[in-house]
Amino acid sequence: MFIEKTGIEKLICIQFSKEFSEISPSDFIQNILMEKVNTKKIIVGYNYRFGKGKTGDVEFLKNKCKEFNIEVVAIEALKIDNKVVSSSRIRGLIKNGEVEEASKFLGRDYPIFGRVVEGSKRGNLLGFPTANLEISEELYPKTGVYAVEVEWNKMVFNGLANVGFNPTFSKNDSKSFSLEVHILDFDKDIYGEEIKVNFKRRIRDEIRFDSPELLIDQIRKDIQWAKENVFKH
């Protein structure tokens, strides 16, 4: 909720604490918005709800605020392809690996920032060195292989990211989640540095291969597919 106060020309944002969730919608409007804040104008989203049990909605807010001469403006839902743009929809798409669809609603590719840490260096042995990102509380896409763009030192590179547990080499009882990025045409030492990984498109599920040779062959195919279907654009 955004509130315009008397005598102030800019909008201010009020962060409501847990205590506000126990106040009835009517008391919230009268005791907080009117008496304490002296509100003149309120801007809310189309699906805004407030008060104890979230029983107050936009219509209730508009009707009640008329008594105090408070103007209420409800922002209409933003839609793309007739679908409402919302954080929950975007999170769901990312969790399902639909990063290309998520990009349409975000207006940009979904990024993950991370510091490059030392890993098993297995990628070097396979001929595809990877930058292992330190795992944080980020929202990670569904496990699998993705075509990505990597930003480092104000430069942008194409790459492939593996999100998951490396089933070809992980034992069943020692799986460890990781985000590894193979940056194409790149040979810099970037340990300890931060990079930004922009997810472009999901290529495939994470697969357990019977041998490293089969994995190497699949990685080559993944790179070729990404070059033909993602990076050429």
The residue length of the chain stands at 233
Give the Cα-Cα-Cα angle 210, 213, 175 (nearest 5 degrees).
Answer: 50
Tell me the catalytic residues.
180
Quickly count: other Cβ atoms within 10 Å of residue 38's Cβ. 13
Q: Which residues contact 195 (CB under 8 A, 6 or more apart)?
A: 113, 114, 116, 131, 133, 150, 151, 152, 181
Rounded Cα gap, residues 207 and 205, in angstroms: 6
